[in-house]
Structure 1
Amino acid sequence: MSDRDDIASFTEKLISVCRTIVGDELRSITYFTDEDVQQVYLRSDLDRTADLVGFAEIERTGFRADEKYQGTQLGEYQATIRMFENGYLTRVVTDHAGVWVTTDSISIDRFEELSTSLRAVLRELRRDER
């Protein structure tokens, strides 16, 4: 399988997981690493005007979240949820890559399910890269 096929498979999996959990409330999905940022899904009623590079600069701080939150009584860092006037952003990171997903309003249970599922997809990608 080629790298292009691997990327397409990963992208399809991200979209499928998000659509299954979030449904029509899904706004966008963006994958990022230290070197790159790529929007893999954008709902058709939204404009492609977001500053992905600017968002990525903020969200990349999550690559160090495990070490920064280490030893707290809250347990292991899982995800970040940010609230905006027109929606929510959920960021999930591993040590090498991350995904942020924007949504309309959804229940906290769905945020938790989304975060857990995205973490699993990112870990699977990491295993496939080895």
Structure 2
Amino acid sequence: MNLFITAGLLLGAQAADAHRVAVDHRGQRVDVTYRSDLNVIHKQVGTTGPGGRANTLRCAWKATVSVNREARSAAGHVLTRTIASETPIEGSRPGWCAGQRSAIAQEVAARSSAVREHLLAVAEQDREALALELDAAHMPVRS
């Protein structure tokens, strides 16, 4: 029995988790905010055991982290981008997924330092792409 259950999960620790930087681009200040967003997918695996036999019921879960970037320049440009993570946080709990949701949320919250590290790494890697996007936003429109 395989049942996919998807739930968006934005934990309190991550909801307030934002990284803000001010970038100087061509002499203008650009305020940039990076926010992490978690999406947890639950997958029910295994079967319930018939009378007298053990069951193999488990809830396999995977949390993907995406980072939302919003850059506001002094010139009035607002650039947004979502950067998806390639490395999910994964785990497994015994039993039904419906009964394990709060335990899974606690496991994900316990790994908030890994989410924060990922957020900071993405922000650092995004600098070049942001500079290119700002350059493109400042280019005069050709007719």
Q: TM-score, length-normalised on structure 2?
A: 0.31
Q: Hey, which of these two has a bigger chunk of helix by percent? A: 1
The structure that has the greater radius of gyration is 2
Q: Whose strand proportion is higher, 1 or 2?
A: 2
What TM-score do you get using the length of structure 1 for normalisation? 0.34
